[in-house]
Amino acid sequence: QQPVQSPQAVILREGEDAVINCSSSKALYSVHWYRQKHGEAPVFLMILLKGGEQKGHEKISASFNEKKQQSSLYLTASQLSYSGTYFCGTENLNNDMRFGAGTRLTVKP
Amino acid sequence: NAGVTQTPKFQVLKTGQSMTLQCAQDMNHEYMSWYRQDPGMGLRLIHYSVGAGITDQGEVPNGYNVSRSTTEDFPLRLLSAAPSQTSVYFCATWSAGFFQGQFFGPGTRLTVL
């Protein structure tokens, strides 16, 4: 079953912050976050393993709440280069990966 | 290193035709997978492999076959193409031990008429 992402779309001004959420109804082994630019392949941002740890990547970080089977991606002080579609991918113990429908992020000057 | 390569980049088929999408990697990753992405939608897992000789079905396997005879190659076969298989197909690889996420190939854009 695919994870549910919210919101579907976000429009920001440069320097603003955003949060993208991902939730699953099934027990997870890991959560992945990817960004895809139009016409390109998805690019890996970070992975979170069960245990609730928070990872960071530049001004982008994420958390994983194992009890709630939820992950959130935090984008702070957004830049124009952050524009794209963000996908969360949830992996179970059988290495079966399911992706959410994506969140389209637009950062304007 | 080429990373993950996919051929062809574009393909047009007629309904009922068969073809093979190629995926090759030089990253020595044990895991490989195939996804399809339809307009405005996320990636849906078709088949995946955890090593040479081992494959398993994903979310949408019907109409597709895979095999994994080597670590490097993971071809996807469309048995009898249908318009519903019009999509962009991505191959991805990853290594379980390094938590680096999946590396995606550039994709194959397939149109079935």
Please name the residues between 51 and 110 in chain B that touch chain A, using a CB distance below 8 Å: 56, 58-59, 90, 96, 99-107
Supply the pLDDT for residue A52.
Answer: 57
pLDDT tens digits for A38-77? 999 999 998 888 765 656 666 889 988 888 889 999 999 9
Considering only CB atoms, which chain A residues are within 8 Å of B102?
32, 34, 42, 44, 89, 97
More confident site: A79 or A66? A79
Q: Does B22 touch chain A (CB under 8 A)?
A: no
pLDDT in tens, A2-49: 899 999 999 999 999 999 999 998 878 889 999 999 999 999 998 888
The count of residues in chain A is 109
- What the block records as the tokens of A6 is 């919210």
Q: Does the distance separating the beta carbons of A99 and B42 come in below 8 Å?
A: yes
Mean pLDDT lowest for which of B39-43, B46-50, B79-83?
A: B39-43
Q: How many CB atoms lie within 10 A of CB B55?
A: 19
3-state DSSP call for residue B93?
Answer: strand
Least confident range from A57-61, B33-37, B77-81, B82-86: namely A57-61
What is the helix (H) or strand (E) element at residue B13, kind and residue range? strand B10-13
Residue B98 has pLDDT above 60, yes or no: no
- CA dihedral (A54, B101, B41, A85) in degrees, to 10, reads 60
For residue A94, pLDDT beyond 90: no
User: To the nearest 10°, the Cα dihedral for B31, B37, B41, B44?
Assistant: -40
Tens of pLDDT, residue by residue over B7-33, are: 999 999 999 999 999 999 999 999 999
Overall average pLDDT of the B24-50 stretch: 92
CA-closest candidate to residue A107, choices A39, A11, A6, A35: A11
pLDDT for the residue A1: 78
